[in-house]
Amino acid sequence: MARKFFVGGNWKMNGTVSSVKELVKTLNDAKLDSNAEVVVAPPSLHLLLVREQLRKDIAVASQNVYDKPNGAFTGEISVSQLQDSNISWTILGHSERRTILGETDEVVASKTKYATDNGISVIWCCGESLEVREAGDTVSVVTKQLDALKAKIGTDDWSKIVIAYEPIWAIGTGKVATTEQAQEVHAAIRKWLKESVSQKAADETRILYGGSVSEKNCKDLSKQTDIDGFLVGGASLKPAFVDIINANQ
């Protein structure tokens, strides 16, 4: 079974009502690859605006979700609230939440389990720091993050999870892993899926590359055997995002 090309746009803490409407108009007017699955993740404040005005063939994601149904959790957002607004995806485990906000592997795994068990699909992020990369420990750090996820969700159903490999040293820095570096880690993740989850999960789970993806490097990256698409940061706020979505044409 061929894995459908997937492009996510993480808008992070950017945008005003006016600029978000402009982004939505750009996407609505664009000719996009019909074989690509596209998801955009605006800030929570703009989720409903984007979902109401964006073309229906592009899904909308939150940038976080909590692992409880409701209650006294100030500042959080629930799965049921997302579903009530037709938001079908969330991003979890992004390095900015892991490093700046202190989310542990276990916290990310718990959120992922709650989201997927209750019908929200997850772009689940993993990655390593520059120090880890230079020490040659990339694969062991990434597989440790994966092990924590498996400990929570088991091996039965990974169909609602898309994995995004994001080398922390390449996020927003302009540095990009070479196609060979990216492919090497993607292949290691797929090998882990085969050995630790199932052949089915290895065959069907999309693994995205995220880390200063641009219209200049996306075509070369998309040709790699185990790179099934991208999670795009800064470039998803620009017209070039359309070129990245169409990278696999």
Of residues 57 and 134, which shows the higher confidence score?
Answer: 57
Q: Contact 194/150 with Cβ under 8 angstroms?
A: no
Give the start-end residues of each E strand in the chain: 5-10, 36-41, 58-62, 89-92, 121-126, 161-165, 207-209, 229-232
| 136 CB-side CA count, 13 A | 0
Q: CA distances (Å), 229 to each of 140, 209, 240, 245, in order?
A: 23, 6, 15, 9
Q: How confident is the model at residue 20 (pLDDT cuts 50, 70, 90)?
A: very high
- Of 48-52, 168-172, 214-218, which has the strongest mean pLDDT? 48-52
At 144 the pLDDT is 97
Q: How confident is the model at residue 1 (pLDDT cuts 50, 70, 90)?
A: low
Of residues 12 and 1, which shows the higher confidence score?
Answer: 12
What are the tens digits of pLDDT across the range 150-206? 999 999 999 999 999 999 888 777 777 889 999 999 999 999 999 999 999 999 999
Could you give the angle at the alpha carbon of 25 between the alpha carbons of 21 and 27, nearest 5°? 120
Q: Is 94 a catalytic residue?
A: yes
pTM: 0.96
**Pairing of β 161-165 and β 36-41:** unpaired
The residue from 46, 94, 103, 186 that is catalytic is 94
Q: How confident is the model at residue 103 (pLDDT cuts 50, 70, 90)?
A: very high
Domains of the chain: 11-245 (3.20.20.70)
Give the amino acid at 134: E
Query: If you average pLDDT over every residue of the chain, what do you get?
Result: 96
The residue from 37, 96, 103, 166 that is catalytic is 166
Q: How confident is the model at residue 130 (pLDDT cuts 50, 70, 90)?
A: confident
> Which residues, 6 or more positions from 227, have their beta carbon under 8 angstroms from its beta carbon?
182, 183, 186, 207, 208, 209, 221
At 15 the pLDDT is 97
* Mean pLDDT (whole number) for 46-58: 98
Q: Contact 220/178 with Cβ under 8 angstroms?
A: no
Nearest CA among 79, 32, 31, 15 for reference residue 234:
15
At 172 the pLDDT is 74
Tell me the percentage of the chain whose pLDDT exceeds 70.
100
